[in-house]
Each structure stands twice: as structure tokens, then as C-alpha cells.
Structure 1
């Protein structure tokens, strides 16, 4: 027992030697260097299009509204911050594994507490969460903001299993529908909207819960039946072209067939399209009148397989399989 105690004391004396202080300083320097490296990596990553290189980290790319771009930027910054924290933590773990691995029978210095380290791993997560919460609140408030007098108001009516888009002369239930686009199983509905104008969407469903979603426009918005009338607004659409929209809520047997196309045109073409619709022309005729393809170009009707074979033929025997 005496020999063991003396060994422990000699070990303690050796650990308290001047060299131990140098090692601690070098260790602190390594940690500081690792932190600076992670910070430099974070700065360099935010200066380039990391989202494009990594597929948007799962977020839809190619946003066509300021709102979608703000959400995309927030998502990419959050992913980069999470990766930076992960690299820092993984670095510390592997550094401790290598630095404090067992060497012979001598134990490393046993530390009961370290106030700077405890302060760091208590305050750092609070700061990270606070920053993310702040920017999330700012972006969310901006994205769901609505104006009093938008330039265009569209009523989105969902039903099993297609869409109707009503162009309105005002906001709310009491407004009048001046033109309408109705989709069928054979013809994909085309929602024509102008670029550079604020647009309000008023959503309602005739039966069950659906979800209106154009990935490049905004996040999916639920379309509720009954007296619930969800509304949202985009300040403008920055890019003309055709974009696929779909129902993003499992609503029944033909849910996967509920596609539509968003066609963004210039304000002048939009006015001409709306005038043609008011004059009684069909959607296809109105699209042709403004020089646009008459039918959807980015999606097509699905084979619904709605024929006699879907049901029980009158001459089928009871219990016969198919």
C-alpha cells in the first residue's frame, strides 16, 4: 500500500511539473485553432452557393418569389451552421481520443471541473438557438405577411381530384369571379399569373383537406373544407415560365393525379389573357391568343384507369377474381 501511494504521489508531482502547463497551453492553442478553422470554414461556405453544390440540402431550388428565396437562404445557413458545429464537436471528440489515449499504466491528469469549458458548452448552445430563433421569426413574419390591396386575387378551389382557379375582382367571400379555369381528368388546369405583381391566394375545398403546392413559389398551403378559408400572398413572381403544382396532402384514391401548371407571363400578356377569358374564350383559346402553349408543358394528365374494368361488370360471376 505504501509503495502504491508513493507512486501516486510521484505521478501527481510529475503531472504538476512545468511541462504540464506547457502541454495545457498547447492543448488550448489547438482548441482555439480548431475553433478558428471552423469559423473560417463557415465564412467561406456562406460566400459560395453551397446549396447548389449539395442539392439544396433537400430544399426545393430555383425559387421564383422573394419569399421562397428568403426561406431557402435561411435553410442553407442553418445547414451550414449545423455542419460547422458538427465538425467542431467531431474534431474535439477525435482529438480527445488521440490525445488522451492510454499510454502504459499511467493515468492522465484527472480534472473534476473546468469552469471555462462548462461555461462554453452552456452558453454556446443558447447562442446558437437564439440566433436561429431570431432569423426564423424574421423570415416567417415576412413570408406570411399580407397586404391590404394586392394586384391580383385568385381563389383556389380543390376537389376530388382536380383544381379550379377563379380570378376575383376583390378579396373575401363577397368578391365576384370574373374568369375561371377548371381542370378535368383529360386536361391539366393552367393557372396563369403575371410577373412583377403581388398575388393573393384564397383557398377552399369542396370535400376533404387538400394542399396547394408549387415548390418554386412557396411552402405547401393546406386547403380546408367548410368555413375555413386560408389565404396567403406573394409580393411578386420574378421569373416567367411554366412550373408544376400539385396536391401535397393525401386526399384519396386519385391524389397523385392532382397536378396543375403555374404559367407565369408578363403583365401585358396576363391582362390580354384575362380579357380573353372575360370575352368567353376557353383557357386554351385564351392561351393561344397571347402566344402561349395551349396545354400544360411541364406535366400531363395521368391515366386514371377509370373504365369498366375498375368496377364490377354486370356479367361477372359473384366471387370471381380478376
Structure 2
């Protein structure tokens, strides 16, 4: 009977996997995670993977105890009543201590990964000023040498001159980044809380009005990746999308030169308040109060 059940289970599993497309099988192997395209990404993936392992081990133990109780203490005849047990001290100690130990282990590894993902080194290779506004993104790139001691507060920005690109309800903005360079994103918001995230980087961070959050990422694979706002920020939140293009250093510098040639140059980054171009959405011509046309 056991052998029959094992063969049946294996057959069902093989049929299910055979019915999956190549993309589905890739997702299964990745545990529904995107491919890692940043230096920090594997830390998040390893935490996610071992959380699955812990959940599976817990499930197997619980299922095993359920099956054991069903078989061991089943009624064997119509007149027989299984022995009733008020409590089982070893089991009660186990299911009290085991969850506590699991929470401690999960907490330790979560904090360790969080420290890696939020680490801010004092000398990033590139600093990008990012503004999330209702409902799109503005990206400001510095020209020339950067001052690594600048924080972005009170006008002490990392560069003396910036080029920028802005998205709107009709056009998704593109964020261009050099590969294998540590990028610092200074995150600004003029209106409500947004959240800046790139799934393939396996990291994200809140964009909060009145506060500048700092996020550092090192892209490791050239390519095009989707990015989006992860925080419900208003009626057109679904349009807060952007594209990330990770390119070589030469292509990155050429891109900045192209933006400068088109006149998209400012002495300071385009940030917040009355400088923000707040979009009211597709097909709506009336701009919100306080926005700059």
C-alpha cells in the first residue's frame, strides 16, 4: 500500500511538472522569485529559500503527527472507545518551545539580511536623486565628480550639476544605471508615501515626505528590468511604473551626455514641493494645486 501511494504521488508530481511551461518551471526553481540582478539580491533570496525549507519541515512534522494520531488512536471496533488523554506534557513542551525557537532564528537571520540590504557605504560610485510624485518618477543624475560627503539635505547635493528625466501618465520613465557600480538612491517625495522598488534587485524602500531615505544597490547583470511603486499612494498608483536599464559605464556616460544635449540640465536636482510635476492621470488636463506645468 505504501509503495502504491509513493508511485501514485510521484506520478502526479511528474505530470504536474510536465504540464508546466519552461517559464513556470523556472519560477518553481526560483520559488517564485525573479532572477537576482544585484549584489544584494542573493541575501534576500537565501532568506526566502530557507524560510520555505523551515515551513516545509514544520509541515512534515505536523502532518506526521496528525497521521500518527489518526492511525495509532483510531477506533478498532464499534464498541471500543479510544483511550482519552487529558494532556501530554512532552508534546505540550515541544509545541511551546519549538515555535519560540523558530521565531528567534527567523528574527536573527531577518535582521542580518536587513542590515546588508540597508547598509549605506560612505563612498558610493554614483548617486541618483529619485523623486516619487503622484503619479510617476523623476530621476536626477549628477554630472562630473561627486562629493561623497553630501547627504542631499539642505541643498548639499553630491554634484554641482544635474541632468534629469521625468515620467508622466502617458510615458513610463527610464532609469539608466551603470553595471557593477554601487549606486546610492536618495529618495524624495513631495506629496504622499511611495515605495521605490525593482523586483530583480530584491530590495525596495519607502519614499516619505519630509524625509530622505538612502538605498544602495550594485547591479551585476546588464539588461532591462521593471520597477514600480509598492505603496498604495492614490488613485493612479498603478501607473507609478518605471524601467531600469543596466548598461556599461560607457553607455551610461553617453546617456547622460544625450540628456545634457537636449537641455535637461539643472544646477540642482528637480525635487519636491512646487518643483514637482504632479500628474493627474491619462486624459486629464487639469493639474493639481501646487504643481508645476
TM-score relative to the length of structure 1: 0.65
Query: Does the Cα contact within 8 Å between 2:170 and 2:282 map onto a contact in 1?
Result: no
State the secondary structure of the residue aligned to 1:54. Answer: helix
What is the CA-CA distance between 1:110 and the residue it aligns to?
5.9
What is the CA-CA distance between 1:101 and the residue it aligns to?
0.6
State the secondary structure of the residue aligned to 1:103. Answer: coil
In 2, distance between residues paired with 1:112 and 1:250? Answer: 49
Query: Does the Cα contact within 8 Å between 2:179 and 2:249 map onto a contact in 1?
Result: yes
Counterpart check, 1:120 vs 2:94? yes
1:231 to 214, 220, 229: 214
What is the CA-CA distance between 1:90 and the residue it aligns to?
1.1
1:262 corresponding residue in structure 2: 244
Higher Cα radius of gyration: 1
RMSD after superposition: 2.7
Counterpart check, 1:281 vs 2:262? yes
Counterpart check, 1:217 vs 2:205? no
Task: Give 5+ residue unaligned stretches, structure 1.
Answer: 1-50, 284-302, 309-322
What is the total number of aligned residue pairs between the two structures? 236
Task: Give 5+ residue unaligned stretches, structure 2.
Answer: 1-24, 265-280, 287-293
1:305 corresponding residue in structure 2: 283
1:4 corresponding residue in structure 2: none
Query: Does the Cα contact within 8 Å between 2:131 and 2:139 map onto a contact in 1?
Result: yes
TM-score relative to the length of structure 2: 0.71
**Closer, same or farther: CA 123–187 of 1 in aligned 2, 3 Å:** closer
What is the CA-CA distance between 1:268 and the residue it aligns to?
2.3
Q: What are the Cα deviations for residues 174-195 of structure 1, in whole angstroms up to 9, with x where unaligned?
A: 1134221122344322111011
State the secondary structure of the residue aligned to 2:132. Answer: strand
Q: What are the Cα deviations for residues 17-61 of structure 1, in whole angstroms up to 9, with x where unaligned?
A: xxxxxxxxxxxxxxxxxxxxxxxxxxxxxxxxxx94537555x41
Counterpart check, 1:72 vs 2:45? yes
Counterpart check, 1:145 vs 2:145? no
